[in-house]
Structure 1
Amino acid sequence: MTKMQTRKLHLLLNDAAFHCGVIILGFFMLYPILWMIANSFKETREIFNTVSLIPKDFRLDNYLRGWKYNNATTFATFFGNSFFYTILSTLGAVLSSALVAYGFARIHFRGNGFWYSCMFLTLMLPYQVVMVPQFIIFQKIGWVNTFLPLIVPQFCGQAFFIFLMVQFIKGIPSELDQSAMIDGCNKFTVFARILFPLIKPAVITSTIFSFYWRWDDFLGPLLYLNRPRSFTVSLALRMFSDPMTSTDWGAIFAMGTLSLIPVFAVFIVFQKYIVQGLVTSGLKG
């Protein structure tokens, strides 16, 4: 065997070992999801008695029982509530954050650095610190048991998205703004027609993260929503479990599997923008 053949064999073995390692690690990372999907087709008594991913008997009726939930409300209502909450919150968070980021990145005003630092510090503030004061405020103005406490604050901008978009906007030459203003554009027109289309990767990245966070949100709906017909999917899955009686785990896992479909769909469609938005936001022109 020649030296060149030995080197090729060595590289081939390294590649094979690397891919095998990645596959094994990937399997362990995905195993909880695969376990949930597999259990959505099993009988309840079989779920916790075996670690096998292959059901002995496929039970599609788990999905029918789970979707019906009870005679008064079906999971179609919960999915509708989740989409309503998630879509409006995402639109509010992304659009308001983009506008605020434009102000911090392009408009020079007194206290710009101070207010930007205050905004950035809120990233380090746990939600549990403001949870009680916010609840008291929303209770006094009569917003409890509505979607308003969950949606309206999102229209005030989100610190992480603002930070992400500020870094992205700073990477765009300011000469574009000046050229647009010479042509008669005001600041808002410059933002809407020039900068906003150019920060599309950061906007889409923020949209993906906001969609994930709002769709998976459990604590917010738990605090402010009391009527079962207003529950989101995350709340409905929790209320599906009844410790006082036997829990229908097959139906729970079936609805949990369905709840992953929007998340996977968003990721598959927009996955290329996640890395692009995070990487390019750190570059400066």
Structure 2
Amino acid sequence: MRKKKIAVKALYHILVIVFGLIMIYPVLWMISGSFKDNAQILRGTLSLIPTEWKLSNYPTGWSGFGGTTFLTFFKNSFVVTTVATLGCVLSSSLVAYSLSRVQWRGRRFWFTAMLATMMLPAQVIMIPQYLIYYRLGLVPGYAPLILPYFCGQAFFIYQMMQFMQGIPRELDEAAKIDGCSKYRIYSQIILPLLKPCIVTTVIIQFYWKWDDYMGPLLYLSRPESYTVSIAIKLFADSASVTDYGAMFAMSSLSLIPVFLIFLFFNRYLVQGIGTSGLKG
């Protein structure tokens, strides 16, 4: 019986390793491609070891386009992503606190309306949003990429509401007896207890915003204002030879911020997702 359990456990770990390698292989192939020339890349071999190392892909890619280096593109992406993530955390937590812990007229209606927005494909509201921002004089610019995230995001609002269900309401009542206002309860009691859920929101939102391509494509027109996702796409030129090595090099570098955030906050991500579905 013991041998059977060991065999099952060994088989489980082997399958996990195999599937893990299959999932991570495209990323490893891209990193390997950043040290290859176009001939090796277009040959389509599955080998991860270059036959001839081309280290110049990184300096070539970093030089960018038209006098604008990738340092500018990374800076643009970092500013847009950081500000949008901060706005998302603050606004979503405020809305979640209001819908979950405060009683007011029309709360159920607005909660239903919020859930309805999660069912709308982004493509449905893309043109109306663009027209609104255009008539407000915000196009081209970063405002359309940042402002919506200061109005709350339905997915994260619902996630935080579910997390708040596990926070005893007796804490709110005790704070009210001590004379705390709703804003003080939110800032000094609820917000600190939301730490795992907030970190989860930061990781997911940072990843989504950093990887966003359609938004910058719609609202940015000047090369010096481009984000990393747009800049990487510019390596693909249908009128000339595409430098795939430099493209893969910059794509590999673009993974570093997301990887570092996930690495440092991974335990909070697991805790936040695991407890978001709990109810007190």
Bigger Rg, which one: 1
Aligned match of 1:245 = 240
TM (norm. structure 2) is: 0.97
Instruction: Tell me, in whole angstroms, the C-alpha distance in 2 between the residues paired with 1:86 and 1:145.
Output: 17
Shift of 1:276: 1.2
Instruction: Tell me, in whole angstroms, the C-alpha distance in 2 between the residues paired with 1:80 and 1:53.
Output: 31
Letter matched to residue 203 of structure 2: I
CA RMSD of aligned residues (A): 1.0
Letter matched to residue 29 of structure 1: M
Q: Point out the more displaced range, 166-175 or 140-149.
A: 166-175
Instruction: Tell me, in whole angstroms, the C-alpha distance in 2 between the residues paired with 1:133 and 1:197.
Output: 37
Q: Point out the more displaced range, 215-224 or 19-28.
A: 19-28
Q: Answer yes or no: is 1:40 the counterpart of 2:20.
A: no
Shift of 1:71: 4.9
Aligned match of 2:98 = 103
Instruction: Tell me, in whole angstroms, the C-alpha distance in 1 between the residues paired with 2:215 and 2:66.
Output: 26
Runs of 4+ residues over 6 Å off in structure 1: none
- Gap runs ≥5 in structure 2: none
Instruction: Tell me, in whole angstroms, the C-alpha distance in 2 between the residues paired with 1:212 and 1:26.
Output: 20
Q: Secondary structure at the match of 1:240?
A: coil
The one-character-per-residue Cα deviations of 1:79-137 (angstroms, maximum 9, x if unpaired) are 00000000000000111000010000111111111110110111111111111011011
Instruction: Tell me, in whole angstroms, the C-alpha distance in 2 between the residues paired with 1:173 and 1:17.
Output: 43
Q: Answer yes or no: is 1:84 the counterpart of 2:84.
A: no
TM (norm. structure 1) is: 0.96
The one-character-per-residue Cα deviations of 1:224-249 (angstroms, maximum 9, x if unpaired) are 00000010000001112111000110
Aligned match of 1:138 = 133
Shift of 1:196: 0.3
Instruction: Tell me, in whole angstroms, the C-alpha distance in 1 between the residues paired with 2:16 and 2:92.
Output: 37
Q: Secondary structure at the match of 1:243?
A: coil
- Gap runs ≥5 in structure 1: 1-6
Instruction: Tell me, in whole angstroms, the C-alpha distance in 2 between the residues paired with 1:118 and 1:54.
Output: 53
Q: Answer yes or no: is 1:188 the counterpart of 2:186.
A: no
Aligned match of 1:3 = none
Q: How many aligned residue pairs are there?
A: 279
1:264 paired residue among 249, 255, 259: 259
Q: Answer yes or no: is 1:215 the counterpart of 2:218.
A: no
Instruction: Tell me, in whole angstroms, the C-alpha distance in 2 between the residues paired with 1:252 and 1:207.
Output: 27
Shift of 1:64: 0.4
Instruction: Tell me, in whole angstroms, the C-alpha distance in 1 between the residues paired with 2:243 and 2:101.
Output: 55
Letter matched to residue 238 of structure 2: P
Aligned match of 1:202 = 197
1:73 paired residue among 60, 68, 82: 68
Instruction: Tell me, in whole angstroms, the C-alpha distance in 1 between the residues paired with 2:10 and 2:85.
Output: 42
Aligned match of 2:18 = 24
